[in-house]
Structure 1
Amino acid sequence: MPRTLDAVLKHDELLALLGSGDARGLYDAARAARVALEFRATDAMLGLTPVNDDVVARLAEAVRAALREAAGLGLHEAACELGRLLFADGDPDAAFAAVAVAAEAGHGPSAVLAAKIAGRPWGQARHAQALRWLSAARELDADGRVHFMLGLYASLGFGGAQDYGRARTCYEEAAARGDADAMFELYVMHARGIGCPEDQELALAWCRRGAEAGNLRAMGNLGGFYATGSGVERDPAQALAWYERAAQAGHGRSAATLGTMYATGDCVPRSPERAREWFRAAEALDFDWREMAEAVELDPDEWEADAEGAPSEG
Protein backbone atom coordinates (compact mmCIF):
# COMPACT_ATOMS: atom_id res chain seq x y z
CA MET A 1 0.00 0.00 0.00
CA PRO A 2 1.40 3.46 -0.85
CA ARG A 3 2.77 5.13 2.25
CA THR A 4 0.70 8.31 1.88
CA LEU A 5 -2.52 6.33 1.48
CA ASP A 6 -1.63 4.24 4.53
CA ALA A 7 -1.16 7.39 6.61
CA VAL A 8 -4.46 8.85 5.39
CA LEU A 9 -6.36 5.63 6.14
CA LYS A 10 -4.90 5.42 9.64
CA HIS A 11 -5.88 9.05 10.23
CA ASP A 12 -9.44 8.37 9.06
CA GLU A 13 -9.67 5.29 11.27
CA LEU A 14 -8.69 7.32 14.31
CA LEU A 15 -11.21 10.06 13.50
CA ALA A 16 -13.95 7.45 13.16
CA LEU A 17 -13.10 6.03 16.59
CA LEU A 18 -13.02 9.37 18.41
CA GLY A 19 -16.12 9.74 20.54
CA SER A 20 -16.90 6.02 20.31
CA GLY A 21 -16.07 5.25 23.94
CA ASP A 22 -13.93 2.32 22.76
CA ALA A 23 -10.79 2.87 24.78
CA ARG A 24 -9.03 -0.28 23.61
CA GLY A 25 -9.89 0.37 19.97
CA LEU A 26 -8.58 3.93 20.21
CA TYR A 27 -5.39 2.77 21.88
CA ASP A 28 -4.70 -0.03 19.39
CA ALA A 29 -5.32 2.24 16.42
CA ALA A 30 -3.10 4.94 17.93
CA ARG A 31 -0.28 2.44 18.48
CA ALA A 32 -0.51 1.24 14.88
CA ALA A 33 -0.42 4.84 13.68
CA ARG A 34 2.61 5.57 15.88
CA VAL A 35 4.50 2.72 14.25
CA ALA A 36 3.66 4.18 10.84
CA LEU A 37 4.87 7.60 11.99
CA GLU A 38 8.17 6.13 13.19
CA PHE A 39 8.73 4.66 9.74
CA ARG A 40 7.86 7.98 8.12
CA ALA A 41 10.53 9.66 10.23
CA THR A 42 13.21 7.50 8.57
CA ASP A 43 11.94 7.69 4.98
CA ALA A 44 14.41 10.40 3.92
CA MET A 45 17.29 8.53 5.58
CA LEU A 46 16.39 5.48 3.49
CA GLY A 47 16.19 7.49 0.29
CA LEU A 48 12.38 7.36 0.11
CA THR A 49 10.29 10.36 -0.83
CA PRO A 50 8.82 11.67 2.44
CA VAL A 51 5.07 11.69 2.96
CA ASN A 52 3.59 15.19 2.86
CA ASP A 53 4.28 17.05 6.13
CA ASP A 54 0.62 18.03 6.54
CA VAL A 55 -0.49 14.40 6.29
CA VAL A 56 2.06 13.37 8.90
CA ALA A 57 1.12 16.26 11.20
CA ARG A 58 -2.60 15.45 11.01
CA LEU A 59 -1.92 11.80 11.79
CA ALA A 60 0.28 12.74 14.76
CA GLU A 61 -2.42 15.01 16.18
CA ALA A 62 -5.07 12.31 15.69
CA VAL A 63 -2.83 9.89 17.63
CA ARG A 64 -2.65 12.31 20.54
CA ALA A 65 -6.40 12.92 20.48
CA ALA A 66 -7.08 9.18 20.50
CA LEU A 67 -4.70 8.57 23.38
CA ARG A 68 -6.20 11.44 25.39
CA GLU A 69 -9.68 10.01 24.95
CA ALA A 70 -8.59 6.46 25.79
CA ALA A 71 -6.75 7.73 28.88
CA GLY A 72 -9.82 9.68 29.91
CA LEU A 73 -11.80 6.46 29.66
CA GLY A 74 -9.46 4.90 32.22
CA LEU A 75 -7.05 2.95 30.03
CA HIS A 76 -3.72 3.33 31.83
CA GLU A 77 -1.65 2.11 28.89
CA ALA A 78 -3.01 5.00 26.83
CA ALA A 79 -2.12 7.52 29.54
CA CYS A 80 1.43 6.16 29.64
CA GLU A 81 1.77 6.27 25.85
CA LEU A 82 0.49 9.84 25.79
CA GLY A 83 2.95 10.77 28.52
CA ARG A 84 5.84 9.35 26.50
CA LEU A 85 4.81 11.38 23.47
CA LEU A 86 4.48 14.61 25.44
CA PHE A 87 7.82 14.02 27.16
CA ALA A 88 9.47 13.43 23.79
CA ASP A 89 7.83 16.65 22.60
CA GLY A 90 9.69 18.51 25.34
CA ASP A 91 6.68 19.15 27.58
CA PRO A 92 7.50 17.43 30.90
CA ASP A 93 4.75 19.18 32.85
CA ALA A 94 2.06 17.93 30.46
CA ALA A 95 3.67 14.49 30.39
CA PHE A 96 3.70 14.24 34.19
CA ALA A 97 0.06 15.35 34.35
CA ALA A 98 -0.89 12.81 31.68
CA VAL A 99 0.38 9.84 33.70
CA ALA A 100 -0.52 11.04 37.20
CA VAL A 101 -3.90 9.28 37.43
CA ALA A 102 -2.53 6.00 36.08
CA ALA A 103 0.53 6.17 38.37
CA GLU A 104 -1.69 6.90 41.37
CA ALA A 105 -3.73 3.83 40.47
CA GLY A 106 -0.62 1.63 40.66
CA HIS A 107 0.14 1.28 36.95
CA GLY A 108 3.84 0.37 36.97
CA PRO A 109 4.92 1.76 33.59
CA SER A 110 3.21 5.08 34.37
CA ALA A 111 4.91 5.25 37.77
CA VAL A 112 8.27 4.57 36.10
CA LEU A 113 7.67 7.29 33.51
CA ALA A 114 6.58 9.75 36.19
CA ALA A 115 9.75 8.99 38.15
CA LYS A 116 11.87 9.44 35.03
CA ILE A 117 10.27 12.83 34.37
CA ALA A 118 10.66 13.88 38.00
CA GLY A 119 14.28 12.75 37.91
CA ARG A 120 15.23 15.63 35.63
CA PRO A 121 16.99 18.59 37.27
CA TRP A 122 13.80 20.66 37.39
CA GLY A 123 11.70 17.85 38.91
CA GLN A 124 12.99 17.86 42.48
CA ALA A 125 9.65 18.94 43.95
CA ARG A 126 8.08 15.80 42.51
CA HIS A 127 10.59 13.26 43.84
CA ALA A 128 8.57 12.26 46.91
CA GLN A 129 5.38 11.84 44.90
CA ALA A 130 7.12 9.75 42.24
CA LEU A 131 8.79 7.61 44.91
CA ARG A 132 5.42 6.95 46.54
CA TRP A 133 3.98 5.83 43.20
CA LEU A 134 6.95 3.55 42.55
CA SER A 135 6.67 1.97 45.98
CA ALA A 136 2.98 1.28 45.46
CA ALA A 137 3.65 -0.39 42.09
CA ARG A 138 6.51 -2.66 43.16
CA GLU A 139 4.43 -5.80 43.79
CA LEU A 140 3.15 -5.91 40.18
CA ASP A 141 6.58 -5.21 38.66
CA ALA A 142 6.67 -7.92 35.99
CA ASP A 143 9.78 -6.73 34.11
CA GLY A 144 11.80 -5.15 36.91
CA ARG A 145 11.54 -1.54 35.72
CA VAL A 146 9.85 -0.33 38.91
CA HIS A 147 12.59 -1.83 41.07
CA PHE A 148 15.27 -0.45 38.76
CA MET A 149 13.85 3.05 39.17
CA LEU A 150 13.57 2.56 42.93
CA GLY A 151 17.26 1.62 42.92
CA LEU A 152 18.12 4.71 40.91
CA TYR A 153 16.20 6.96 43.30
CA ALA A 154 17.95 5.38 46.31
CA SER A 155 21.34 5.75 44.65
CA LEU A 156 20.77 9.42 43.86
CA GLY A 157 18.97 10.27 47.09
CA PHE A 158 15.78 11.31 45.31
CA GLY A 159 12.79 11.50 47.65
CA GLY A 160 14.88 10.52 50.67
CA ALA A 161 18.38 9.89 51.93
CA GLN A 162 21.00 8.44 49.58
CA ASP A 163 21.28 4.73 50.34
CA TYR A 164 23.56 2.58 48.19
CA GLY A 165 22.70 -0.58 50.12
CA ARG A 166 19.01 -0.11 49.38
CA ALA A 167 19.87 0.74 45.79
CA ARG A 168 21.79 -2.52 45.39
CA THR A 169 18.91 -4.51 46.88
CA CYS A 170 16.48 -2.89 44.44
CA TYR A 171 18.80 -3.49 41.50
CA GLU A 172 19.20 -7.13 42.47
CA GLU A 173 15.42 -7.55 42.56
CA ALA A 174 15.09 -5.78 39.22
CA ALA A 175 17.79 -7.99 37.70
CA ALA A 176 16.05 -11.10 39.02
CA ARG A 177 12.99 -9.94 37.07
CA GLY A 178 15.07 -9.52 33.91
CA ASP A 179 15.97 -5.81 33.85
CA ALA A 180 19.18 -5.36 31.86
CA ASP A 181 19.83 -1.81 33.09
CA ALA A 182 19.82 -3.03 36.70
CA MET A 183 22.40 -5.65 35.75
CA PHE A 184 24.65 -2.92 34.37
CA GLU A 185 24.27 -0.84 37.53
CA LEU A 186 25.25 -3.87 39.61
CA TYR A 187 28.34 -4.23 37.43
CA VAL A 188 29.25 -0.60 38.16
CA MET A 189 28.66 -0.97 41.90
CA HIS A 190 30.78 -4.12 42.23
CA ALA A 191 33.50 -2.77 39.93
CA ARG A 192 33.87 0.43 41.97
CA GLY A 193 32.94 -0.88 45.41
CA ILE A 194 29.87 1.34 45.72
CA GLY A 195 27.62 0.10 48.50
CA CYS A 196 29.46 -3.23 48.54
CA PRO A 197 33.03 -4.59 48.55
CA GLU A 198 34.87 -4.19 45.25
CA ASP A 199 34.74 -7.48 43.36
CA GLN A 200 35.97 -7.40 39.77
CA GLU A 201 35.03 -11.00 39.05
CA LEU A 202 31.44 -10.46 40.18
CA ALA A 203 31.37 -7.14 38.33
CA LEU A 204 32.39 -8.86 35.10
CA ALA A 205 29.67 -11.47 35.61
CA TRP A 206 27.05 -8.72 35.96
CA CYS A 207 28.40 -6.91 32.92
CA ARG A 208 28.12 -10.11 30.89
CA ARG A 209 24.58 -10.74 32.11
CA GLY A 210 23.63 -7.17 31.27
CA ALA A 211 25.13 -7.46 27.79
CA GLU A 212 23.37 -10.72 27.08
CA ALA A 213 20.11 -9.16 28.30
CA GLY A 214 20.52 -6.20 25.92
CA ASN A 215 22.03 -3.29 27.86
CA LEU A 216 23.94 -1.18 25.33
CA ARG A 217 26.65 0.05 27.70
CA ALA A 218 27.26 -3.47 28.98
CA MET A 219 27.67 -4.72 25.41
CA GLY A 220 30.14 -1.95 24.65
CA ASN A 221 32.09 -2.53 27.85
CA LEU A 222 32.26 -6.26 27.23
CA GLY A 223 33.61 -5.55 23.76
CA GLY A 224 36.27 -3.38 25.39
CA PHE A 225 37.22 -6.11 27.84
CA TYR A 226 37.78 -8.59 25.03
CA ALA A 227 39.67 -5.99 22.96
CA THR A 228 42.10 -5.20 25.79
CA GLY A 229 42.14 -8.47 27.73
CA SER A 230 40.83 -6.73 30.84
CA GLY A 231 39.47 -9.42 33.16
CA VAL A 232 39.16 -11.89 30.28
CA GLU A 233 41.49 -13.51 27.79
CA ARG A 234 41.99 -11.10 24.89
CA ASP A 235 39.76 -12.18 22.01
CA PRO A 236 39.52 -9.83 18.99
CA ALA A 237 36.67 -11.84 17.45
CA GLN A 238 34.57 -11.52 20.61
CA ALA A 239 35.46 -7.83 20.86
CA LEU A 240 34.29 -7.24 17.31
CA ALA A 241 31.10 -9.25 17.87
CA TRP A 242 30.10 -7.33 21.01
CA TYR A 243 30.95 -3.93 19.56
CA GLU A 244 28.91 -4.71 16.45
CA ARG A 245 25.98 -5.98 18.50
CA ALA A 246 26.04 -2.83 20.61
CA ALA A 247 26.38 -0.50 17.63
CA GLN A 248 23.60 -2.19 15.70
CA ALA A 249 21.36 -1.82 18.75
CA GLY A 250 22.03 1.93 18.85
CA HIS A 251 25.20 2.47 20.92
CA GLY A 252 27.02 5.37 19.28
CA ARG A 253 30.29 4.94 21.19
CA SER A 254 30.58 1.34 19.99
CA ALA A 255 29.97 2.44 16.40
CA ALA A 256 32.75 5.04 16.75
CA THR A 257 35.05 2.43 18.31
CA LEU A 258 34.45 0.14 15.34
CA GLY A 259 35.35 3.04 13.07
CA THR A 260 38.70 3.51 14.80
CA MET A 261 39.33 -0.23 14.79
CA TYR A 262 38.85 -0.50 11.03
CA ALA A 263 40.77 2.71 10.43
CA THR A 264 43.82 1.54 12.38
CA GLY A 265 43.61 -2.22 11.88
CA ASP A 266 43.20 -2.85 15.62
CA CYS A 267 41.68 -6.33 16.18
CA VAL A 268 40.43 -6.39 12.56
CA PRO A 269 41.95 -6.15 9.09
CA ARG A 270 42.31 -2.47 8.19
CA SER A 271 39.42 -1.22 6.02
CA PRO A 272 38.97 2.52 5.44
CA GLU A 273 35.64 1.85 3.76
CA ARG A 274 34.26 0.02 6.81
CA ALA A 275 35.77 2.68 9.08
CA ARG A 276 33.90 5.44 7.28
CA GLU A 277 30.69 3.40 7.40
CA TRP A 278 30.95 3.06 11.18
CA PHE A 279 31.91 6.69 11.68
CA ARG A 280 28.82 7.62 9.68
CA ALA A 281 26.74 5.26 11.83
CA ALA A 282 28.11 6.86 15.01
CA GLU A 283 27.17 10.29 13.73
CA ALA A 284 23.65 9.08 12.90
CA LEU A 285 23.43 7.92 16.53
CA ASP A 286 24.40 11.45 17.71
CA PHE A 287 27.84 10.39 18.92
CA ASP A 288 30.73 12.68 18.01
CA TRP A 289 33.36 10.21 16.83
CA ARG A 290 35.96 12.86 15.96
CA GLU A 291 37.46 13.16 19.42
CA MET A 292 37.87 9.39 19.58
CA ALA A 293 39.50 9.41 16.15
CA GLU A 294 41.93 12.14 17.21
CA ALA A 295 42.85 10.12 20.31
CA VAL A 296 44.30 7.42 18.03
CA GLU A 297 46.00 10.03 15.82
CA LEU A 298 43.47 10.00 12.99
CA ASP A 299 42.58 13.24 11.21
CA PRO A 300 38.76 13.39 11.34
CA ASP A 301 38.61 15.55 8.21
CA GLU A 302 40.22 12.73 6.26
CA TRP A 303 37.70 10.21 7.54
CA GLU A 304 34.50 12.02 6.64
CA ALA A 305 32.43 9.70 4.46
CA ASP A 306 32.47 12.13 1.53
CA ALA A 307 35.92 13.67 2.05
CA GLU A 308 38.04 14.19 -1.03
CA GLY A 309 41.18 12.13 -0.96
CA ALA A 310 39.79 9.93 1.81
CA PRO A 311 42.09 7.09 2.89
CA SER A 312 41.97 4.06 0.62
CA GLU A 313 42.30 0.36 1.26
CA GLY A 314 45.79 -0.97 1.91
Structure 2
Amino acid sequence: MPAAWSASPASAGADWESLSPAEAREALAGPARVALIREAAEAGLPDAEAVWGQMLLDGAEVAKDARAGFGWFMRAAAQGHLQALNMVGRCYELGWGVAHDPARAADCYRVAAERGLPEAMYNYATQLALGAGVAQDKPAALGWLRQSAAKGFAKAENFIGSFHEDGWACDRDLLAAAQCYKRAADGGDFRGCFNHARMLVSKGRVREALPWIGRAAALGTPRFREQVRGWLAGQGDAELRVRGTAALDRC
Protein backbone atom coordinates (compact mmCIF):
# COMPACT_ATOMS: atom_id res chain seq x y z
CA MET A 1 0.00 0.00 0.00
CA PRO A 2 1.35 3.51 -0.81
CA ALA A 3 2.93 5.35 2.09
CA ALA A 4 0.32 8.08 1.68
CA TRP A 5 -2.29 5.57 2.88
CA SER A 6 -0.56 4.60 6.11
CA ALA A 7 -2.77 7.16 7.85
CA SER A 8 -6.38 6.48 8.72
CA PRO A 9 -8.98 7.14 5.96
CA ALA A 10 -10.18 10.21 7.79
CA SER A 11 -6.77 11.85 7.49
CA ALA A 12 -5.82 10.57 4.05
CA GLY A 13 -7.61 13.07 1.84
CA ALA A 14 -4.81 15.63 1.88
CA ASP A 15 -2.46 13.13 0.18
CA TRP A 16 -4.58 12.43 -2.92
CA GLU A 17 -2.73 14.85 -5.16
CA SER A 18 0.62 13.21 -4.35
CA LEU A 19 -0.51 9.78 -5.57
CA SER A 20 0.23 8.42 -9.01
CA PRO A 21 -2.77 7.04 -10.96
CA ALA A 22 -1.63 3.49 -10.11
CA GLU A 23 -1.38 4.31 -6.40
CA ALA A 24 -4.82 5.93 -6.46
CA ARG A 25 -6.33 2.82 -8.06
CA GLU A 26 -4.65 0.64 -5.43
CA ALA A 27 -6.04 2.78 -2.64
CA LEU A 28 -9.54 2.71 -4.11
CA ALA A 29 -9.45 -1.09 -4.10
CA GLY A 30 -8.48 -1.33 -0.44
CA PRO A 31 -10.61 -2.32 2.58
CA ALA A 32 -11.56 1.28 3.39
CA ARG A 33 -12.87 1.70 -0.14
CA VAL A 34 -16.11 3.59 0.48
CA ALA A 35 -14.59 6.19 2.81
CA LEU A 36 -11.58 6.62 0.56
CA ILE A 37 -13.67 7.07 -2.57
CA ARG A 38 -15.84 9.68 -0.92
CA GLU A 39 -12.79 11.55 0.40
CA ALA A 40 -11.13 11.42 -2.98
CA ALA A 41 -14.29 12.67 -4.69
CA GLU A 42 -14.61 15.53 -2.23
CA ALA A 43 -10.94 16.32 -2.87
CA GLY A 44 -11.76 16.74 -6.57
CA LEU A 45 -10.22 13.60 -8.08
CA PRO A 46 -12.22 12.96 -11.30
CA ASP A 47 -11.90 9.15 -11.22
CA ALA A 48 -13.21 9.09 -7.66
CA GLU A 49 -16.02 11.55 -8.49
CA ALA A 50 -17.16 9.24 -11.28
CA VAL A 51 -16.98 6.12 -9.10
CA TRP A 52 -18.76 7.84 -6.21
CA GLY A 53 -21.46 9.03 -8.59
CA GLN A 54 -21.98 5.47 -9.83
CA MET A 55 -22.18 4.12 -6.29
CA LEU A 56 -24.84 6.68 -5.40
CA LEU A 57 -26.74 6.02 -8.62
CA ASP A 58 -26.75 2.26 -8.04
CA GLY A 59 -27.09 2.29 -4.25
CA ALA A 60 -23.93 0.17 -4.12
CA GLU A 61 -22.51 0.12 -0.56
CA VAL A 62 -24.25 3.45 0.12
CA ALA A 63 -27.82 4.74 0.23
CA LYS A 64 -29.15 5.19 -3.28
CA ASP A 65 -29.38 8.83 -4.36
CA ALA A 66 -29.66 9.25 -8.13
CA ARG A 67 -29.80 13.05 -7.98
CA ALA A 68 -26.57 13.20 -5.98
CA GLY A 69 -25.00 10.66 -8.31
CA PHE A 70 -25.86 12.83 -11.30
CA GLY A 71 -24.22 15.80 -9.57
CA TRP A 72 -20.98 13.89 -9.08
CA PHE A 73 -20.97 12.77 -12.71
CA MET A 74 -21.36 16.42 -13.70
CA ARG A 75 -18.40 17.42 -11.53
CA ALA A 76 -16.16 14.75 -13.05
CA ALA A 77 -17.35 15.52 -16.57
CA ALA A 78 -16.50 19.20 -16.07
CA GLN A 79 -12.90 18.05 -15.54
CA GLY A 80 -12.87 16.13 -18.82
CA HIS A 81 -13.66 12.64 -17.48
CA LEU A 82 -15.19 10.90 -20.50
CA GLN A 83 -16.85 8.01 -18.68
CA ALA A 84 -18.53 10.53 -16.39
CA LEU A 85 -19.69 12.56 -19.39
CA ASN A 86 -21.13 9.39 -20.89
CA MET A 87 -22.96 8.76 -17.60
CA VAL A 88 -24.34 12.31 -17.63
CA GLY A 89 -25.78 11.34 -21.01
CA ARG A 90 -27.25 8.15 -19.58
CA CYS A 91 -28.86 10.10 -16.77
CA TYR A 92 -30.45 12.53 -19.23
CA GLU A 93 -31.50 9.68 -21.52
CA LEU A 94 -33.16 7.63 -18.79
CA GLY A 95 -34.20 10.31 -16.31
CA TRP A 96 -31.85 9.13 -13.57
CA GLY A 97 -31.64 11.92 -11.00
CA VAL A 98 -32.52 14.58 -13.58
CA ALA A 99 -35.36 15.33 -15.98
CA HIS A 100 -35.48 13.16 -19.10
CA ASP A 101 -33.82 15.10 -21.93
CA PRO A 102 -32.79 13.00 -24.96
CA ALA A 103 -31.31 16.00 -26.79
CA ARG A 104 -28.89 16.71 -23.95
CA ALA A 105 -28.13 13.00 -23.74
CA ALA A 106 -27.22 12.96 -27.42
CA ASP A 107 -24.98 16.02 -26.97
CA CYS A 108 -23.11 14.35 -24.11
CA TYR A 109 -22.66 11.15 -26.08
CA ARG A 110 -21.48 13.04 -29.16
CA VAL A 111 -18.80 14.96 -27.30
CA ALA A 112 -17.51 11.85 -25.51
CA ALA A 113 -17.66 9.89 -28.78
CA GLU A 114 -15.68 12.54 -30.64
CA ARG A 115 -13.05 12.31 -27.89
CA GLY A 116 -12.71 8.57 -28.44
CA LEU A 117 -14.83 6.79 -25.81
CA PRO A 118 -16.23 3.56 -27.36
CA GLU A 119 -19.21 3.35 -24.96
CA ALA A 120 -20.24 6.87 -25.97
CA MET A 121 -19.81 6.02 -29.65
CA TYR A 122 -22.26 3.16 -29.14
CA ASN A 123 -24.72 5.31 -27.19
CA TYR A 124 -24.57 8.15 -29.70
CA ALA A 125 -25.05 5.64 -32.53
CA THR A 126 -28.13 4.29 -30.76
CA GLN A 127 -29.59 7.81 -30.49
CA LEU A 128 -28.90 8.39 -34.20
CA ALA A 129 -30.40 5.04 -35.20
CA LEU A 130 -33.59 5.72 -33.23
CA GLY A 131 -33.81 9.46 -33.86
CA ALA A 132 -33.84 10.04 -30.09
CA GLY A 133 -32.92 13.63 -29.25
CA VAL A 134 -31.29 14.00 -32.65
CA ALA A 135 -32.35 13.61 -36.29
CA GLN A 136 -32.45 9.97 -37.31
CA ASP A 137 -29.38 9.07 -39.36
CA LYS A 138 -28.75 5.34 -39.69
CA PRO A 139 -25.70 5.66 -41.98
CA ALA A 140 -24.02 7.92 -39.41
CA ALA A 141 -25.07 5.52 -36.66
CA LEU A 142 -23.42 2.63 -38.48
CA GLY A 143 -20.24 4.65 -38.86
CA TRP A 144 -20.07 5.30 -35.12
CA LEU A 145 -20.81 1.65 -34.36
CA ARG A 146 -17.95 0.56 -36.55
CA GLN A 147 -15.60 2.93 -34.74
CA SER A 148 -16.78 1.60 -31.38
CA ALA A 149 -16.44 -2.03 -32.48
CA ALA A 150 -12.92 -1.31 -33.76
CA LYS A 151 -12.05 -0.36 -30.18
CA GLY A 152 -13.32 -3.72 -28.95
CA PHE A 153 -16.77 -2.73 -27.66
CA ALA A 154 -18.81 -5.93 -28.07
CA LYS A 155 -22.24 -4.29 -27.82
CA ALA A 156 -21.41 -2.24 -30.91
CA GLU A 157 -20.46 -5.40 -32.80
CA ASN A 158 -23.85 -6.90 -31.96
CA PHE A 159 -25.68 -3.80 -33.17
CA ILE A 160 -23.72 -3.85 -36.44
CA GLY A 161 -24.97 -7.42 -36.83
CA SER A 162 -28.54 -6.13 -36.56
CA PHE A 163 -27.83 -3.56 -39.27
CA HIS A 164 -26.60 -6.30 -41.59
CA GLU A 165 -29.45 -8.65 -40.71
CA ASP A 166 -32.14 -6.01 -41.28
CA GLY A 167 -30.47 -4.15 -44.16
CA TRP A 168 -30.23 -0.81 -42.36
CA ALA A 169 -27.88 1.63 -44.12
CA CYS A 170 -26.21 -1.34 -45.85
CA ASP A 171 -27.13 -4.35 -47.95
CA ARG A 172 -28.84 -7.18 -46.11
CA ASP A 173 -26.12 -9.76 -45.47
CA LEU A 174 -26.86 -12.65 -43.13
CA LEU A 175 -23.32 -13.99 -43.30
CA ALA A 176 -21.91 -10.63 -42.18
CA ALA A 177 -24.58 -10.48 -39.47
CA ALA A 178 -23.64 -13.94 -38.20
CA GLN A 179 -19.96 -12.99 -38.09
CA CYS A 180 -20.74 -9.83 -36.11
CA TYR A 181 -22.89 -11.74 -33.64
CA LYS A 182 -20.12 -14.31 -33.15
CA ARG A 183 -17.59 -11.57 -32.39
CA ALA A 184 -20.04 -9.90 -30.00
CA ALA A 185 -20.68 -13.23 -28.27
CA ASP A 186 -16.96 -13.91 -27.94
CA GLY A 187 -16.63 -10.42 -26.45
CA GLY A 188 -19.15 -11.19 -23.71
CA ASP A 189 -22.21 -9.26 -24.89
CA PHE A 190 -25.30 -11.17 -23.76
CA ARG A 191 -27.40 -10.06 -26.72
CA GLY A 192 -24.56 -11.10 -29.00
CA CYS A 193 -24.55 -14.52 -27.33
CA PHE A 194 -28.27 -14.90 -27.96
CA ASN A 195 -28.11 -13.65 -31.55
CA HIS A 196 -25.20 -15.97 -32.29
CA ALA A 197 -27.24 -18.85 -30.85
CA ARG A 198 -30.26 -17.79 -32.87
CA MET A 199 -28.26 -17.83 -36.10
CA LEU A 200 -26.89 -21.28 -35.27
CA VAL A 201 -30.43 -22.54 -34.64
CA SER A 202 -31.51 -21.18 -38.03
CA LYS A 203 -28.86 -23.44 -39.58
CA GLY A 204 -30.01 -26.48 -37.61
CA ARG A 205 -26.97 -26.40 -35.29
CA VAL A 206 -28.99 -26.61 -32.08
CA ARG A 207 -26.40 -28.35 -29.91
CA GLU A 208 -23.83 -25.71 -30.78
CA ALA A 209 -26.37 -23.02 -29.94
CA LEU A 210 -27.33 -24.30 -26.49
CA PRO A 211 -24.15 -23.24 -24.63
CA TRP A 212 -24.54 -19.74 -26.06
CA ILE A 213 -28.13 -19.58 -24.84
CA GLY A 214 -26.85 -20.56 -21.41
CA ARG A 215 -24.20 -17.86 -21.53
CA ALA A 216 -26.73 -15.27 -22.69
CA ALA A 217 -28.99 -16.24 -19.79
CA ALA A 218 -26.14 -16.02 -17.27
CA LEU A 219 -24.99 -12.60 -18.48
CA GLY A 220 -28.34 -11.05 -19.28
CA THR A 221 -30.89 -9.11 -17.26
CA PRO A 222 -34.07 -10.66 -15.83
CA ARG A 223 -36.14 -8.89 -18.48
CA PHE A 224 -33.89 -10.23 -21.23
CA ARG A 225 -34.16 -13.76 -19.85
CA GLU A 226 -37.95 -13.54 -20.04
CA GLN A 227 -37.69 -12.44 -23.67
CA VAL A 228 -35.48 -15.44 -24.41
CA ARG A 229 -37.99 -17.67 -22.60
CA GLY A 230 -40.72 -16.42 -24.92
CA TRP A 231 -38.55 -17.08 -27.96
CA LEU A 232 -37.79 -20.60 -26.80
CA ALA A 233 -41.47 -21.34 -26.28
CA GLY A 234 -42.06 -20.75 -29.98
CA GLN A 235 -39.29 -23.05 -31.21
CA GLY A 236 -40.13 -26.38 -32.79
CA ASP A 237 -37.08 -28.30 -31.59
CA ALA A 238 -37.92 -30.03 -28.29
CA GLU A 239 -34.29 -30.31 -27.14
CA LEU A 240 -33.82 -26.58 -27.71
CA ARG A 241 -36.96 -25.72 -25.75
CA VAL A 242 -36.20 -28.02 -22.82
CA ARG A 243 -32.49 -27.43 -22.42
CA GLY A 244 -32.71 -23.73 -23.20
CA THR A 245 -35.45 -23.23 -20.63
CA ALA A 246 -33.44 -25.21 -18.09
CA ALA A 247 -30.52 -22.81 -18.62
CA LEU A 248 -32.82 -19.89 -17.89
CA ASP A 249 -34.17 -21.58 -14.76
CA ARG A 250 -30.65 -21.97 -13.38
CA CYS A 251 -30.11 -18.19 -13.41
Q: Specify the TM-score bucket, using the shorter chain as the normaliser.
A: 0.7 to 0.9
Q: Distance in 2 between matches of 1:255 and 1:145?
A: 25
Q: Distance in 2 between matches of 1:157 and 1:257?
A: 29
- What letter is aligned with 2:47? P
2:64 to 97, 113, 123: 123
Q: Distance in 1 between matches of 2:124 and 2:198?
A: 29
- Relative distance call for 1:23 and 1:249 in structure 2 (3 A) is farther
Conservation of the 8 A alpha-carbon contact between 1:187 and 1:207: yes
2:205 to 271, 280, 301: 271
- Kindly tell me the number of residue pairs found equivalent between the two proteins: 230
| Unaligned ranges ≥5, structure 2 | 247-251
Displacement of 1:140 after TM fit? Answer: 4.4
Conservation of the 8 A alpha-carbon contact between 2:182 and 2:196: yes
Displacement of 1:302 after TM fit? Answer: 4.7
Taking the TM superposition and a 5 Å limit, the aligned residue runs for 1:1-314 are 22=3, 74=16, 76-82=24-30, 95=34, 97-120=35-58, 123-124=64-65, 127-128=67-68, 130-138=69-77, 140-141=79-80, 144-265=82-203, 270-286=204-220, 288=225, 289-299=228-238, 300-303=240-243
Q: Distance in 1 between matches of 2:52 and 2:218?
A: 29
- What letter is aligned with 2:26? A
Conservation of the 8 A alpha-carbon contact between 2:89 and 2:105: yes
Conservation of the 8 A alpha-carbon contact between 2:232 and 2:241: no
| Unaligned ranges ≥5, structure 1 | 1-16, 27-67, 87-93, 307-314
Conservation of the 8 A alpha-carbon contact between 1:115 and 1:127: no
Query: Which secondary structure does the structure 1 equivalent of 2:146 belong to?
Result: helix
- Relative distance call for 1:238 and 1:80 in structure 2 (3 A) is farther
- Relative distance call for 1:98 and 1:156 in structure 2 (3 A) is farther
Conservation of the 8 A alpha-carbon contact between 2:138 and 2:168: no
Q: CA RMSD for the aligned pairs?
A: 3.6
Query: Among the aligned pairs, what percent are the same residue?
Result: 27
Q: Distance in 1 between matches of 2:100 and 2:166?
A: 35
Q: Distance in 1 between matches of 2:212 and 2:144?
A: 28
- What letter is aligned with 2:85? H
Query: Which secondary structure does the structure 1 equivalent of 2:29 belong to?
Result: helix
- String of CA shifts for 1:84-143, please: whole Å, max 9, x gaps: x99xxxxxxx84x4411111222222222222222237623x624x4443333335436x
Displacement of 1:186 after TM fit? Answer: 1.2
- Relative distance call for 1:79 and 1:208 in structure 2 (3 A) is same
- Relative distance call for 1:164 and 1:80 in structure 2 (3 A) is farther
Q: Distance in 1 between matches of 2:73 and 2:236?
A: 48
- Relative distance call for 1:228 and 1:167 in structure 2 (3 A) is closer
- Relative distance call for 1:133 and 1:263 in structure 2 (3 A) is closer
Displacement of 1:174 after TM fit? Answer: 1.0
**TM-score normalized by structure 2?**
0.73
Displacement of 1:158 after TM fit? Answer: 4.4
Displacement of 1:282 after TM fit? Answer: 2.6
**TM-score normalized by structure 1?**
0.60
Larger C-alpha radius of gyration, 1 or 2?
1
Conservation of the 8 A alpha-carbon contact between 2:235 and 2:241: no
- Relative distance call for 1:138 and 1:259 in structure 2 (3 A) is closer
Q: Distance in 2 between matches of 1:168 and 1:221?
A: 18
1:54 matched residue in structure 2: none
Q: Distance in 2 between matches of 1:261 and 1:279?
A: 11
Displacement of 1:247 after TM fit? Answer: 0.8
